[in-house]
Amino acid sequence: MPRRQRLTILALGIALSAPLAVAEERFITLASTTSTEQSGLFADIVPQFREATGIDVRVVAVGTGQAFEIARRGDADSLLVHDTEGEERFIAAGYASERLDVMYNDFVLIGPRDDPAGIAEADDILDAFNLIAASGTPFTSRGDDSGTHRAEQRFWQDAGVDTAGSWYRELGSGMGATLNTAAAMDAYVFADRATWLAFDNRHDLAVLFEGDEALFNPYGSLLLDRERHPHLKHDLAEQWHRWLVSKEGQEAIAGYTIDGEQLFFPNAE
C-alpha cells in the first residue's frame, strides 16, 4: 500500500474515533468559591469522587455572587457556595430545586500581630469591626461579591460603620490575593479559616479574633433546575450532589487537613 494511502487511512481512523473519545469523557462543570479551591479541598476530594464514579469535576472558582450568575445563565452543571440567604433566594427564583448542607468552617479576623485596633479584646465581632474603624488602621476587603465579602458587608452594616474612607481598601480580588495585600500593608482582613490555613505568605499577620457564633460559615450544594436549563448534565451533577453528603463524601471532606489541622467539617444531615 502506498505511503500516502496509509497516512490517509490513519488520519481517517483518528477522525472517526475522536467523537467517540469525547463522548466517553464524563465530567461536570462546578461553579464554586475561591475559598474551596484555594484551600486545596477540591484537589483532594475530586480525585476520590472520580475514582468512585468515573466522573470528573472541573471547578470554576469565583466569588459566590459570580458563581450564582454562572449557574443562573446555565453555564455550570452544579453549584457549591457559602451564602445561605442567597442560596435560598436562588431556589425561590426557580434556578435550583434542592439545597443540601455539605460542610462548614468559620470566618476569622486577621491583622498585624501588634493589633493596633485592639480587636483581640473585643466583646464580639461587631465590637471588633467598630474598633478597626475607630482606629483608622487599614482594612483590606475582597470587594468581589463573594460569600466572604457578603458576610463582611453584613457585619459592617450591623455594626453601624460607614466604610467610606482611605482606611478601607476594597480590592475586587479573591481571598488569596486579598490576604497577600493585607500582609504587604499590615492591614486587617476578614477571611475564611480554610484559606488562611492554606496561606503561606503571612508576614506579620495573625488570627486576632475568632470563635463568635456569628462567624459560622456553612456551605451548601445546589441541584440546578432541570426544566430551566435542560441542556445541563443533571444526572452526572446529581451524582456529585449526593456523593458530597454520602458517608464517603463526608469522610473525604473531614479527611482533608493541612499540617494535621482539619479545614472543613462535614454537616450533612
Contact 183, 205 (CB under 8 A): yes
Cell 466522573, residue?
Answer: 55
Selected residue with higher pLDDT from 177 and 35:
177
* pTM of the predicted structure, to 2 decimals: 0.81
Domain with residues 3-105+217-266, CATH architecture: 3-Layer(aba) Sandwich (3.40)
pLDDT of residue 24: 57
Instruction: Average the pLDDT over 47-51 and give the result.
Output: 98
165: left (phi over 0), alpha (psi -120 to 50) or beta: left
pLDDT value of position 269: 77
Helix, strand, coil percentages (3-state) for the chain, rounded to 5, are: 45, 25, 30
Mean pLDDT of the region 151-163: 96
pLDDT tens track for 234-268: 999 999 999 999 999 999 999 999 989 999 999 99
Give the pLDDT confidence of 3-42 residue by residue, as tens digits. Answer: 444 434 444 454 444 444 444 579 999 999 988 888 899 9
Fold of the domain spanning 106-215: D-Maltodextrin-Binding Protein; domain 2 (3.40.190)
Q: What is the pLDDT of residue 128?
A: 98
pLDDT of residue 1: 55
pLDDT for res 91: 97
| Mean confidence (pLDDT) of the chain | 91
Q: How far is CA 264 from CA 20, 42, 214, 257, in A?
A: 39, 12, 17, 8
Chain segment 196-246, per-residue pLDDT in tens: 988 988 999 999 999 999 999 999 999 999 999 999 999 999 999 999 999
Buried b (16+ CB within 10 A) or exposed e, 76-115: bbbbbbbbbebbeebbeeebbeebbbbbebbbbbbbbeeb
**Dihedral angle computed from the Cα positions of residues 199, 201, 207 and 213, in that order, rounded to the nearest 10 degrees:** -30
List pLDDT tens digits, range 91-143.
999 999 999 999 999 999 999 999 999 999 999 999 999 999 999 999 999 99
Say if residues 236 and 77 touch (Cβ distance below 8 Å): yes
Helices (H) and strands (E) in the chain, counts: 11, 12
- DSSP characters for 213-227? GGGEEEEEEEEE-TT
Distance CA 207, CA 112 (A): 9
Cell readout for 126 is 461587631
Q: Are 172 and 143 in contact (CB under 8 A)?
A: yes
Q: How does DSSP assign 53-95, residue by residue?
A: HS-EEEEEEE-HHHHHHHHHHT--SEEEES-HHHHHHHHHTTS
Q: CATH 3.40.190.10 in the chain: give the residue spans.
A: 3-105+217-266, 106-215
C-alpha dihedral over 75, 89, 174, 217, to 10 degrees?
Answer: -130
